[in-house]
Amino acid sequence: MALRNCRNVKVLDITPVGQSPRPDEFFELRLERPDWDDWKPGQFVMIRPVDWPMDLLWGRPFSICSGDAESVTLFVQKIGRGTARLSELKKGDTVAMWGPLGNSFAVDATRPTLMLAGGIGIAPFRGYVEQHPLPENLKLFFAHRMAIGCYPYQRLSGAVDAECMMEARREDLAAIIERMGELVDQYRDGLILCCGPTPFMKTAQKFALEAGAELYVSLENRMACGVGACLGCVCKDGKGHHTQVCTKGPIFRADNVEL
SS (H, E, C) 198-229: HHHHHHHHHHHHHHCCEEEEECCCCCCCCCCC
Query: Does the footprint of ligand FAD cover residue 43 (CB under 6 A)?
Result: no
Among 134, 168, 209, 231, interactor with ligand FES by CB under 6 A: 231
Query: Does the footprint of ligand FES cover residue 225 (CB under 6 A)?
Result: yes
Query: Does the footprint of ligand FAD cover residue 83 (CB under 6 A)?
Result: yes
Query: Does the footprint of ligand FAD cover residue 120 (CB under 6 A)?
Result: yes
Among 31, 64, 233, 235, interactor with ligand FES by CB under 6 A: 233
Contact between 252 and 220 (Cβ < 8 Å): no
- Residues between 174 and 193 that touch ligand FAD (CB under 6 A): none
Residue nearer to ligand FAD on the CB measure, 79 or 231: 79
- Binding map of ligand FES across residues 132-171, x = CB under 6 A, - = no contact: ----------------------------------------
The amino acid occupying position 231 is L
Closest-CA residue to 144 (of 19, 16, 39): 19
Residue 5: which of ligand FAD, ligand FES, none does it interact with, CB under 5 to 8 A by kind?
Answer: none
Query: Does the footprint of ligand FAD cover residue 75 (CB under 6 A)?
Result: yes
Among 221, 234, 237, 247, interactor with ligand FAD by CB under 6 A: 221
Among 226, 235, 249, 250, interactor with ligand FES by CB under 6 A: 226
Closest-CA residue to 27 (of 42, 37, 35, 15): 15
Peptide bond into 250 cis (omega under 30): yes
Q: How far is the CB of 193 from ligand FAD (least distance, A)?
A: 14
Which of the stretches 49-57, 92-100, 164-172, 226-234 binds ligand FES when contact is defined by CB under 6 A? Answer: 226-234
Which of the stretches 24-32, 132-140, 147-155, 219-227 binds ligand FES when contact is defined by CB under 6 A? Answer: 219-227
Residue 60: which of ligand FES, ligand FAD, none does it interact with, CB under 5 to 8 A by kind?
Answer: ligand FAD
For 74, 77, 115, 141, 178, the CA distances from 22, given in Å and listed in that order, are 19, 11, 27, 24, 29
Query: Does the footprint of ligand FES cover residue 229 (CB under 6 A)?
Result: yes
Residue nearer to ligand FAD on the CB measure, 190 or 205: 205
Residues that bind ligand FES (CB under 6 A): 223-226, 228-233, 244, 246
